[in-house]
Structures are given as structure tokens and as C-alpha cells.
Structure 1
Amino acid sequence: MKKNAMEEEGGQGRPPLTELELQQGREQILAVARSLFHRHGYDAVSIRRIMRETSRSPMMFYRYFPSKRAVIRYLWADILDAFYTYCEEGAARMSTPRFGLEMYLRRSIQYWLDHPSDFKVLYLNPDALESESNETEPEYFADQPGAYDRTEYLANLVRETAAAERLEIMDIELAVQQLIVQILGLSFSIIMIPELPWRDAGTHIDETIRSMFVTLGLPYPTSDHQ
């Protein structure tokens, strides 16, 4: 049976971490890991290296997280929470579902262009199935409750916009997936291939959103808004 971190540290049991100590330790580890994963990629970064940069011993890691995979999944959750919040707040300020949908889509691209390191941490480090105990079946991050549940907000915007225009979109799930493909496709191209002579990002965002509305069969908003 695997020894726990307290035993590995020198045979003497350590007192459990307080909630504050646990929170502070996790935040420090996550901050270091976020930087390392961005610069070097998940596979190239070891637990030992993460802990060295936090001035803690490697075995102390297991007092805060069960595995390295758990660290990047914490980061993914934080990144997605910030992304969804930014998109939803912008959409909520609009006067109609159609303007709300347009703003959500605009912000969903702009956010990644403004946070390229977060985009890379989230989308350039593939997930993998790793069992953390003998009692639970491994699952992908995307399958965990709450991981991508907030895409339902976008689905509702599509439904409400279609209803307001007296139109019907037969397959909302496919429609939302197509929107996400275009969001990520443009974001990836500009972030990951900057050496190509792209037109300015604003032009590409405008044209991509127009294309999205055409794909959905919805009229494009004509009023300018921030």
C-alpha cells in the first residue's frame, strides 16, 4: 500500500493542514504549475519541478493534490469559469437575445485572444484517463459535472434568438457545437500561427460571427455596440 505524504516526509505524522493552509498551498502550486504548463507543456513538467519552485519537498505535493492530473484539471476549471463569466456578463447586458448572442460570440473569441496563455494551457494539453484510486473509474475532465455545463447558456441564447425571430433550429446541440468549432478555430489560428499575414483580429471576428449567424439561419444584428 502506498505510504501517504506524511509518512514519506520522515516517519513522523504531521498534523493535518488547516483550511487556510490547504487553500494557500494549493493556490501557490496552481500558480507555479500554470506558468510551467504554459511554457513547457504538461508532459514536460514533473511534480518535483513544481514543488521545487514552491520551495516545498516533492512529497508535500500529495498533501494538496492527489495527482499532477488533478492540478491541470483545477486550472482548466478556473480558466473556464473566467471565460464563461466574461461571455455571460457581456450577453446579459444586451437588450435582446439576438444582440446577446452576438455579444457572447464576440467575447468568446476576444477572451482567448486576450488570454493566449490560458488558451494554450486548456487546449494544448490533452486530457487523459488516469485512475486516482481503486474505488473510482477514471473519467475525462469534460465528463465531470460542471466542466462544460455552462455551454447551456449559449444554447439558450440560440433558442431564444430563434424563437424571437419565429424560426426553429432543429438540432440545438449540433448548432452549438458548430459555433464552438468556429470560435476555437479562429482563436487557434491567430494565437498559434501569428507569423501568417492575418488581417486584423477585429475584421476576422466580425466576419466569423456573420458566418455563424448565416449558419444558424438567423439575421445578423445591425446596430453597433461595445
Structure 2
Amino acid sequence: MARTAGRPPRSKAEILEFRSKIGKHALEIYRAEGFEAISMRRLAKAVGCAPMTIYAHFDGKTDILRYLWADVLTDMSGDIAEKLKSVAGPSERLQSAAHSFIAYWIDHPDHFRLVFMSNDVTRADVSTFVMGEDTLAHFLMFSDLIREVHPEEHDVKMSTDTLISGLIGIALCMNTMPDYPWADPTSMTNQLLLSIIT
């Protein structure tokens, strides 16, 4: 059988590397101009390929956004996991995770806006992403930490949902209204944790 001309198929590692390259450029455009400025044609020009090549790796802009969301959440979870390596004791681990979560979003306001405030995204797109197993794992790590604090019968879901929504609320206020004289985010996080740890 004669070989067809053209580029040989990419290896799995090459595909992951290329998707990462596309994601990197998409994030740069997002940071500079917002999600609306991202287009397949513009990304293709940035990475040096035809627009159809981008479509071979992503279904469209929303798929790229989901990729960026996943990348940011993985980075955030990795940051928390790294800090937890040196923390012993269930209460201290939960506190460290909560403070690391807040610090991550305050230190990366563009990531916060990307994940929690993206425009031009349908509710169905968000729901599909949020209900994915990988996405849920980033937030449900708090359930495991709360179970460590309260191994006895305890409403872990209520505590987890309260903690996560409270932490996101603190980060939202810090990122969207930075000129307001908020209380220190560490103190607010400690206040939120009191209802769960005690």
C-alpha cells in the first residue's frame, strides 16, 4: 500500500503539547482583551497553523474555554495539595486548604474572572463542565478534609457547600470591589471556618 503524503499523525504527547500551546495563546488573548477576542483564526495565526488544525483539537471556543477552566482548576488544586504536604492535623489541613484557595484566586484575579465570570457562555456549557467528575474533584477535596475534621456523623455536603460558596464569595469581593475597605480575607476565612470546625 502506498503511503499518503502529508504530516504523520501526532503522538499523544504531541497532541497534548499542541493543545497546551493553543491554550496558552488563548489565555494570553483572554488576559489582554477578554474571551470575546478569542477566535479560531486568531489562535491559528498565533500558533502557526491553519484554523482547521485548531478545530481538529477543539470543537470551538467553548471547548477552549473548558480546557482553560480545567487547566486553572488543576493549577489551583495543585497549589493547595502542595501546601497540604507540610500540614498535619485535620483542622489545620482544612484551614490551610481554605486559605490557599482564597490566596490563589486573589493572587490570580484573571484566573478568577475566567472561571467564575466568563461572558458569552451558556448555562448548559457551564453545567456540563461543572458536573464533570474531574471538575467536581477540585471542589470535593473539601468534603474529604471536612470528613477528617468530623469523622462522626456530620452533614458534610452542607458544610462543603457552605465553605465553598463562602470562599468564592470572599474571592469575588476581593477581585471585583478591591477599593472597598473589606476586612482582611484571612480573618473572613477564619470566621467562615469557625462554623465548620467547631
Aligned residues: 192
Taking the TM superposition and a 5 Å limit, the aligned residue runs for 1:198-217 are 198=182, 203-205=184-186, 207-216=187-196
Report % sequence identity: 23
The runs of at least 4 consecutive aligned structure 1 residues that moved more than 4 Å come to none
Unaligned runs of 5+ in 1: 1-11, 131-137, 220-226
Change (3 A) 1:103 1:21: closer
Alpha-carbon offset, residue 192 of structure 1? 2.0
Instruction: Indicate the residue corresponding to 1:18 in structure 2.
Output: 10
Unaligned runs of 5+ in 2: none
Alpha-carbon offset, residue 102 of structure 1? 0.8
Change (3 A) 1:195 1:13: farther
Are 1:81 and 2:81 counterparts? no
- Tell me, yes or no, if the aligned pair for 1:142 and 1:148 is still in contact at 8 Å: yes
Structure 1 or 2, whichever has the larger Rg, is 1
1:16 & 1:145 partners in 2: Cα distance? 33
Structure number with the higher helix fraction is 2
Change (3 A) 1:179 1:95: same
Are 1:173 and 2:157 counterparts? yes
Are 1:185 and 2:169 counterparts? yes
Are 1:38 and 2:31 counterparts? yes
Amino acid at match of 1:212: L
3-state DSSP of counterpart to 1:194: coil
Match of 1:57 among 43, 50, 56: 50
- Tell me, yes or no, if the aligned pair for 2:38 and 2:61 is still in contact at 8 Å: no
Taking the TM superposition and a 5 Å limit, the aligned residue runs for 1:86-97 are 86-97=79-90
Taking the TM superposition and a 5 Å limit, the aligned residue runs for 1:57-136 are 57-125=50-118, 127-128=121-122, 129=124
1:52 & 1:183 partners in 2: Cα distance? 39
2:82 & 2:145 partners in 1: Cα distance? 13
2:15 & 2:87 partners in 1: Cα distance? 40
Change (3 A) 1:125 1:16: farther
